[in-house]
């Protein structure tokens, strides 16, 4: 029998310790307080101990304003005593509608402080630059990081949507290095496998946090996805007695860089379905069949 790939073990993020292989994202946390609480509670109960937020979440997907999803999460922390201590809390900053990016030390510091206030917490475990600001020197960003850490406001730092070169440049200035990078990665979006992102993660001990692990839901609905890819995912889903979505998540988890797959569903029953990804058995033959179907051409 072919060697099985690891999709179930905990992931380690810097000095934060272990988190579950799946994470719940807050981009769509725009329902009622009761609905939001049900989602976060179901996710944490299912082992999704990393909660991924951002200050800009709330400007779309039914939200009402900048910071709305951080405020919503803050209300959940207030409603459920002890929840904050059970999770690893991550948020992001650096996007300003109309600018659009600012990673200056002054702005990142103020943005982080504002995020803490909105969520009603005294620190975040992980703070990430949401998108690269090409007009801030990485040394200045690192100075802001180091200051935030020395003040006890942030424990670890990372980046999101950075190229390999941008990550390396910032990593060179950050005390103890970056803990995470957050690329778009799914069975329908394979760029991080080939652009050096996941290779850098393995080389430098950076944990990848895969956003849009279901290609924005397309891998669940099938809309706009190559029929050949859907066919392979469906075949594996039938074999493993799980949904196509669970297979797609397991594909992300199977990479040896040990990614965390961020899911965005706001349906508690769907959380239980996706959590079954960690029970899937995938071989190299399986994952390469997914890659070949995604590419639409034979592997060399």
Q: Tell me the C-alpha distance between 93 and 104, whole Å.
A: 11
Alpha helical stretches, state H, 46-104 = 68-79, 83-86
Per-residue pLDDT, 188: 98
The full set of domains in the chain, from first to last, is: 16-217+257-265 (3.20.20.100)
Question: Which residues face 88 on adjacent strands?
Answer: 50
- Range list of β-strands (E), 65-153: 88-93, 124-129
How do beta strands 154-160 and 11-13 pair? unpaired
Q: Hey, is 45 helix, strand or coil?
A: helix
- Range list of β-strands (E), 173-272: 180-182, 207-210, 260-263
For the annotated catalytic residues, the residue numbers are: 57
What residues have CB less than 8 Å from 215, skipping those under 6 apart?
186, 187, 188, 189, 225, 248
> Which residue from 75, 48, 42, 72 is spatially nearest to 58, judged by alpha carbons?
72
From first to last of its 300 residues, the chain has per-residue pLDDT tens of 578 999 999 999 999 999 999 999 999 999 999 999 999 999 999 999 999 999 999 999 899 999 999 999 999 999 999 999 999 999 999 999 999 999 999 999 999 999 999 999 999 999 999 999 999 999 999 999 999 999 999 999 999 999 999 999 999 999 999 999 999 999 999 999 999 999 999 999 999 999 999 999 999 999 999 999 999 999 999 999 999 999 999 999 999 999 999 999 999 999 999 999 999 999 999 999 999 999 999 999
| DSSP classification of residue 1 | -
Per-residue pLDDT, 1: 52
**What does the angle CA 214 – CA 220 – CA 221 come to, to the nearest 5 degrees?**
130
């Amino acid at each position: 029998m072919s060697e099985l790939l690891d999709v179930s073990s905990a992931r380690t993020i810097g000095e934060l310790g272990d988190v579950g292989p799946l994470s719940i994202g807050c981009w769509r946390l725009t329902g009622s307080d009761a609905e939001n609480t049900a989602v976060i509670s179901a996710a944490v109960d299912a082992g999704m101990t990393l909660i991924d937020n951002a200050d800009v979440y709330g400007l779309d997907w039914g939200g009402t304003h900048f910071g709305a999803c951080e405020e919503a999460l803050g209300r959940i922390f207030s409603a459920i005593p002890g929840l904050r201590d059970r999770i690893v809390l991550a948020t992001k900053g650096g996007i300003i509608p109309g600018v659009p990016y600012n990673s200056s030390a002054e702005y990142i510091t103020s943005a982080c402080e504002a995020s803490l206030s909105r969520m009603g917490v005294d620190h975040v475990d992980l703070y990430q630059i949401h998108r690269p600001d090409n007009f801030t020197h990485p040394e200045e960003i690192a100075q802001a990081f180091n200051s935030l850490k020395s003040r006890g406001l942030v424990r670890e730092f990372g980046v999101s949507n950075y190229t390999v070169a941008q990550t390396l440049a910032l990593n060179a200035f950050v005390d103890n290095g970056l803990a995470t990078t957050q690329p778009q990665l799914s069975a329908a979006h394979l760029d991080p496998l080939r652009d050096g992102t996941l290779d850098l993660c393995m080389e430098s001990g950076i944990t990848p946090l895969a956003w849009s692990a279901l290609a924005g839901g397309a891998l669940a609905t099938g809309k706009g996805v190559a029929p050949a890819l859907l066919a392979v995912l469906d075949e594996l889903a039938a074999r493993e007695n799980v949904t196509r979505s669970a297979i797609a998540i397991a594909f992300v988890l199977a990479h040896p860089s040990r990614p965390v797959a961020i899911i965005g569903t706001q349906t508690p029953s769907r959380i239980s379905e996706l959590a079954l990804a960690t029970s899937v058995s995938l071989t190299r033959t399986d994952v390469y069949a997914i890659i070949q179907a995604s590419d639409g051409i034979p592997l060399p």
